[in-house]
Chains A and B, each alone.
Chain A
Amino acid sequence: MRLRVGGFAVAAVAAWFLPYGLDLYGIHVIDIAIVFALLAVGLGLAMGVAGQINLAQVAFFGVSSYAVAILTTRAGFGFWTAAVLALLAATLVGVLVGIPALRMQSHYLGIVTLGLALAFTNWVTNSTVTGGADGISGIPVPPLFGIDLSSEYLYYYLELVVFGLALAFAGFVAHTGLGRRMRAMRDDSLAAGAVGAPVPILRMTAFVLASLYGGVAGVLYAGLIRYVAPETFSIANMFLLLAMVIIGGRQSILGCVVGAVALALLREALVDFSVYAQLGFGIVVVLMVVFAPTGLAGIPARLRRLVRRRRTSDHRATLRPFRPEPAGGPDRVGASLEISGISKQFRGLRALDDVSMSVAPGEIRGVVGPNGSGKTTLFNIVTGIYGVSSGSASVDGRVVTGRRPHQLSQLGLARTFQNLRLFGQMTVRDNVLVALDRSSMLAVWRYLLWPVGIWRAERDLRARADDLLERFGLTDFAEAAPTSLPYGIQRRLEIARAMATQPRLLLLDEPAAGLNGQEVGQLGEIVRAIRADGVTVVLIEHNMGLVMSLCDRVTVLASGGVIADGTPAEVAVRPEVIEAYLGDSMNTADIAAEVESEAVR
């Protein structure tokens, strides 16, 4: 940390004295590079941090440049008034371009944003208000307390200050709650929703941030070049920007800056060989994607990991035992779950057919049934991932069907997933932090107006995260990447993450899958402790031993319907259950006996 602060200080001082070593040409190139760096930071926030493919960054840039040009030359506004309005315009366009992200992701979003960027270029080329293909010249020099900003040296300092602030803000966003939620969404949007991250709003936020940075870059560009034309906002420049972000490392804000500055300077150095430069950029992008997906910024971490792997085989991190101490007050009681008449249709396939069940507060309920009987579908409906075809579910009397996963998380619902959905590119601590963060998205205003508040909340969250990791025996792995951990630890982490949301109803989807005997035993303890803590637990499980020993009641599903409901001992001896579950090839008497012995235990 201290090293980093020192690095920044050195960089800042170097940046301050840089112009003294440069001629007018040099400073102009640097001024342009800073504009690109701002654009790259915005793109990095959207693509690297939030995982939203955004090929419209040049359009945000263009909207704001053009807005400044139009407002100053045609409407007679002052430069800074125009600049503020231009930022608003860019942000508004950011919201509009972000809307498709609510419905589609990945390549769909890629083509849509690319298409919208083309639509923008098409509009500015045609409209008379934008000067058509000739563009708009004569943008005034921005006035600033008598400082002559037509000098590109002084303009550099303006850019430097703006850039410094923008960079600090981006870093602040990326490393606190908002950025963490966006990264969680990037790694796994379903799981992010399930731990309470409001995915739709976060997607919009990503585009708003990208457009804000595009807007700032556009204002600076307009003030620097004082002329705008459609060619500046071409797709070729969009791809150049993309290359900057990928080569620099999209997940790291500093990486984006390094990539942008490096490529802007390189492009200038190779201006006489532009075709070869383009060839080189293309090759480097391909190589980066294959061999160093985290870009230049990721290389130090990769090296460090390499060194560490060689060195530290003696120090073993260990999974410590779970500490069953109640975190909530003793008066906490779990929520009840009432499912009435739910049916779910998938393109003619009836996955659930009139399923009803009711789970009492504080109960541990098992849901069993053969593969394809609709158990996970039921969970997905209760947690808001699927809608219902008919019927409803309610928690503590509040209807939960038809709500979004993050809203349900706020209502006290938490879940784990059948095939583990951890945030793979975040540390174990961050996985837990995302879930601990219960702040509403309405509080993002504080990022702009009261960053200290964010900082305090952050410190508090970190302390609580350490407590939680301690309780689940995961302290040794706090800085590890979840995917590098043994399966059993990942399972436990997922439960810890779910518990971090302080739920009153916890849904566990096959929590024992892939665990060894000892781990299954520990799981049983954990679940009992969770219940004792005032949480109702519903679990889907194939490990009948666990179900029989742990659950108060068991519901059996088969081909989309409930075929039995009762205590484990009652259910296990029903012939239809045994038939559905095991087929008639097995000796039912044997099973019944085994089940009975499990139940006694």
Chain B
Amino acid sequence: MEVFFQTLVGGLGFGAVYALVAMGFSIVYRTMGLVNFAHGQVVMIGAYAASTFYMTAHVPFFISIPVAMVVTGLIGLVIERVLRPLENKDFDLMLIGTIGFGMVLESLATIIWGATGHAVPSPVDTEPLDVFGIRIRTYSIVVLAVAALATVALVLFLQRTKRGAAMQAVAMDHEAATAVGIHVGRSNAVAFAIGAGLAALAGALVAPMLYVNPTLGGSLGIKGFAAAILGGFGNIPGAVVGGLAIGVLDSYAAGRFQAYSELVVFLVFTVIIMIKPTGLFGERTVNRA
């Protein structure tokens, strides 16, 4: 029982990070139908940007996050701008293009920060809470809270603001949206920037939990992508649920199958997706039939 709950708590802590990564995937996908395979690497750059700023400029951790978000947001804009000629033409090519961007970002990180990486001291340095023998890291609570805030903010943005409404319209029918005077390119750029910003948030939050090095993005990206698909690609609440689900699945698989956990996680994922290809909550995407 204790193992059960402790595993759940551990899984949720990382699940919140996967949820943020998955949201980044989804916001881009629902708006422009593009899967950004470089997203994991953007997360990694975000982690580097935030932690470098935090550790060298000695500013509070939660101030370094917005800085990192600006950095990755700009990277997002660059990726979107470069791949724009392919938009609504060939999605497979765009996908491969983003893989190319991933390679570029990873090697750039190696060139800038070196291959070795660094550990990041936890910004919240208090003893873990002890609830009936279940230890809960205070930092995990912070991560969960930030992830929840980010979700709410994103949903409010999409539903309550003009720009958000425009993006919803583009997501539903970009031709009709163009017809009523919405600038589709700008919507896509904003979506890409938001996605990249979310990546930085995820990267910054995960930095003190892990060790920051250029290969950090790979597995975070793949698991985050799997989470987005599991929840229903392009679906924001789905991304959150999918992220938490992947985190928890990962933890339980590690407990039950030990070193074979990765094998089990991906087989389970494949089976779920084959049974329900649109994910748990249904796909939301541009209409491009």
Q: Which residues of A contact B (CB under 8 A)?
A: 51, 53, 99-100, 103-104, 106-108, 110-112, 114-116, 118-119, 122-123, 125-126, 235, 239, 242-243, 246, 275-276, 278-279, 281-286, 288-290, 293
**What are 24 A-B pairs at a CB distance below 8 A?**
A53-B92, A99-B274, A108-B229, A116-B267, A118-B266, A119-B263, A119-B266, A119-B267, A123-B263, A126-B259, A126-B263, A275-B110, A278-B103, A279-B111, A281-B100, A282-B102, A285-B96, A285-B97, A286-B82, A289-B83, A289-B94, A289-B96, A290-B86, A290-B97
Q: Which residues of B contact A119 (CB under 8 A)?
A: 262-263, 266-267
Interface string of B98-128 (1 = CB under 8 A from A): 0111111111101100010000000000000
Q: Interface majority SS on B: helix, strand, loop or mixed?
A: helix
- Docked Cα-Cα span, A125 to B259, in Å, equals 9
A286 touches B91 (CB 8 A): no
Using a CB–CB cutoff of 8 Å, the interface residues on chain B facing chain A are 35, 37, 82-83, 85-86, 90-97, 99-108, 110-111, 115, 218, 222, 225-226, 229, 233, 259-263, 266-267, 269-270, 273-274, 277
Cα-based distance from A517 to B218 in the complex (angstroms): 58
CA separation between A112 and B267, bound complex, in Å?
9
**A293 to B100, alpha carbons, bound, how many Å?**
13
With a cutoff of 8 Å between Cβ atoms, the chain A residues found around residue B260 in the complex are 122-123, 126
Residues on A with beta carbons closer than 8 Å to the beta carbon of B94: 289
B266 and A279 within 8 A (CB): no
5 A-B pairs closest in CB distance? A282-B103, A285-B100, A282-B104, A115-B266, A279-B107
Q: Check A111–B225 contact: CB distance below 8 A.
A: yes
A114–B108 Cα gap in the complex (Å)?
Answer: 24
A276-B100 contact in complex given A51-B92, A107-B35, A235-B218, C-beta closer than 8 Å: no
Q: In the complex, what distance in Å separates the CA atom of A286 from the CA atom of B93?
A: 9
Residues of A within 8 A of B97 (CB): 285-286, 289-290
- Contact partner of B96 (CB less than 8 A), chosen from A112, A118, A125, A246, is A246
- With a cutoff of 8 Å between Cβ atoms, the chain B residues found around residue A290 in the complex are 82-83, 85-86, 97
Complex contacts, B96 vs chain A, CB 8 Å: 242, 246, 285, 289
In whole angstroms, how far apart are the Cα atoms of A279 and B93 in the complex? 19
Cα–Cα distance between A283 and B263 once the two chains are bound (Å): 32
**C-alpha spacing A125/B108, complex, angstroms:** 29
In the bound complex, do residue B91 and residue A106 qualify as a contact, i.e. CB atoms below 8 Å apart?
Answer: yes
Contact status of A282 and B101, CB under 8 A, knowing A107-B91, A110-B95? yes
What is the number of contacts between chain A and chain B, taking CB atoms within 8 Å? 126
B113 CB to nearest chain A CB (Å): 12
Q: Could you tell me the distance between the alpha carbons of A543 and B274 in the complex, rounded to whole angstroms?
A: 43
CB-CB under 8 A from B100, the residues of chain A are 243, 246, 281-286, 288-289
A288: chain B residues within 8 A (beta carbon): 100
> In the assembly, what is the distance between CA of A289 and CA of B92, in Å?
10
- Residues on B with C-beta less than 8 A from A112 are 269-270, 273
Question: Are B95 and A108 in touch, CB under 8 angstroms?
Answer: no
A110-B35, A293-B93 known; A239+B103 contact, CB < 8 A: yes
Q: Is the CB of A115 within 8 A of B103?
A: no
How far is B261's CA from A125's CA once the two chains are assembled, in angstroms?
12
Given contacts A100-B270, A111-B226, A116-B270, are A275 and B107 in contact (CB under 8 A)?
yes
B107–A278 CB distance below 8 A: yes
Which residues of A are found within 8 Å of B269, using beta-carbon distances? Answer: 112, 115
Tell me the minimal C-beta distance from A219 to chain B in angstroms. 24
**How far, in angstroms, from A235 to B99 measured CA to CA in the complex?**
12
| Chain B min CB distance to A287 (Å) | 8
Residues of A within 8 A of B93 (CB): 289, 293
Bound Cα distance A438, B262 (Å): 44
**Residue among B93, B100, B107, B260 with the highest chain A CB neighbour number at 10 A:** B100
A111 to B279, CA, bound (A): 13
Question: Across the interface, which residues of A come within 8 angstroms of B104, CB to CB?
Answer: 279, 282-283, 286
Q: A122 to B96, alpha carbons, bound, how many Å?
A: 24
Q: Contact between B267 and A106 (Cβ–Cβ < 8 Å)?
A: no
Q: Are A107 and B95 in contact, with the CB atoms below 8 A?
A: yes
Contact of B95 among A53, A126, A278 (CB under 8 A): A53
- Minimum CB–CB distance for A315 against chain B, Å: 30
Chain A residue, CB-CB nearest to B103:
A282
Q: From residue B281, how far is it (CB to closest CB) to chain A in Å?
A: 14
Contacts of A107 in B (CB 8 A): 35, 91, 95, 233
Tell me if A279 and B222 are in contact (CB < 8 A): no
Q: Which residues of B contact A289 (CB under 8 A)?
A: 83, 86, 93-94, 96-97, 100
- Please report the C-alpha to C-alpha distance between residue A290 and residue B107 in the assembled complex, in whole angstroms: 20
| Least Cβ–Cβ distance between A502 and chain B, in angstroms | 29
- State the Cβ distance, B199 to closest chain A Cβ, in Å: 17
Complex Cα spacing A580 to B267, Å: 52
A275 touches B111 (CB 8 A): yes
Are A122 and B263 in contact (CB-based, < 8 A)? Answer: yes
Contacts of B92 in A (CB 8 A): 51, 53, 106
Neighbouring A residues of B266 by C-beta, 8 Å: 115-116, 118-119, 122
CB B137 to nearest CB in A, in angstroms, measures: 27
Decide if B273 touches A281 in the complex (CB within 8 Å).
no
A118 touches B222 (CB 8 A): yes
Contact, CB under 8 Å: A286 / B274: no
Q: Which residues of B contact A100 (CB under 8 A)?
A: 270, 273-274
Given the complex of chains A and B, what is the CA–CA distance between A246 and B274 in angstroms? 28
